[in-house]
């Protein structure tokens, strides 16, 4: 609305370019009696004039009467816009939109064009910053989702490892404890009757039982 009043025109519009579809869409529009905020109204990007020149930063002046017959032309004439200017919004070397304003036939005063170009520059910066914040926010959400997924996978792996550890500890230690206990009882109760060679062999068994226990500890670690 302030831009429309400064330019003293019936209507001023902030348009966003959609180069993929060849259309522009209203971001905001201010008329004498009504203001529209937000997207919704779309029309051909050809209404912005020479697109290549616009992308180079050159404002375009369009005679509404020269436009092809259609609802867009009729809507402009009905709102009192017989001649309008499209001032490009460029950020990072990219044409992201244009400010369009106009009214009855006649030249556009240089000071008003300068105001429109300054506003277009500032708007382009603000819009690019907003897009960057949105992109960063979206990437942060995606990263958070991936972290949650990886954390869930890690928790599953930890539970499986704990289950494996319990199985190793219980299933392998149980027979070792039995062998250790019975071999000790064998030495205590029948050591004299085994003879020196029998006791030596039994000692080898017990050393290997101890070694197996150490291997299980290392595996669990």
How many CA atoms does the CB half-sphere of 26 hold within 13 Å? 16
Cα separation, 25 vs 183, in Å, equals 88
CB atoms within 10 A of CB 112: 16
Q: Is the pLDDT of residue 14 over 90?
A: no
Cα separation, 124 vs 134, in Å, equals 15
Residue listed under structure tokens 């009729």 = 74
Coil vs helix vs strand at 64 = helix
Cα separation, 21 vs 42, in Å, equals 10
Which pLDDT value is given to residue 2? 57
Pick the closest to residue 60 from 9, 3, 116 (CA basis).
Answer: 116
- Taking only the tens place, the pLDDT of each residue in 175-203 is 898 999 999 899 888 888 888 889 899 99
- Provide Rg for the chain, Cα atoms: 41
- Taking only the tens place, the pLDDT of each residue in 114-124 is 878 888 888 88
H/E stretch holding 189: helix 110-220
Q: What is the DSSP letter of 107?
A: P
- Taking only the tens place, the pLDDT of each residue in 121-156 is 888 888 888 888 988 999 999 999 999 999 999 999
The tokens describing 83, both together, are: 């001649």
- Taking only the tens place, the pLDDT of each residue in 36-83 is 565 667 888 888 888 889 888 889 888 888 888 888 888 888 878 888
- Please, which residues bridge with residue 62 across strands? 84
């Amino acid at each position: 609305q302030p831009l429309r009043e400064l330019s003293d025109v019936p209507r001023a519009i902030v348009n966003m370019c959609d180069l993929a579809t060849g259309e522009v869409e209203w971001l905001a529009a201010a008329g004498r009696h009504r203001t529209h905020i937000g997207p919704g109204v779309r029309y051909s990007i050809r209404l912005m004039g020479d697109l290549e020149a616009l992308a180079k930063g050159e404002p375009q002046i369009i005679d509404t009467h020269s436009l092809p017959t259609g609802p867009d032309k009729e809507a402009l004439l009905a709102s009192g816009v017989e001649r309008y200017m499209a001032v490009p919004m460029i950020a990072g070397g990219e044409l992201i939109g244009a400010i369009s304003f106009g009214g009855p036939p006649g030249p556009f005063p240089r000071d008003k064009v300068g105001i429109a170009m300054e506003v277009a520059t500032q708007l382009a910066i603000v819009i690019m910053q907003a897009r960057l914040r949105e992109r960063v926010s979206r990437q942060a959400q995606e990263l958070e989702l991936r972290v949650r997924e990886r954390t869930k996978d890690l928790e599953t792996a930890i539970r499986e490892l704990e289950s494996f550890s319990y199985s190793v500890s219980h299933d392998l230690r149980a027979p070792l404890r039995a062998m250790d206990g019975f071999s000790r009882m064998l030495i205590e109760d029948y050591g004299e009757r085994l003879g020196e060679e029998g006791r030596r062999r039994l000692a080898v068994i017990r050393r290997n039982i101890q070694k197996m226990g150490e291997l299980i500890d290392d595996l669990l670690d």
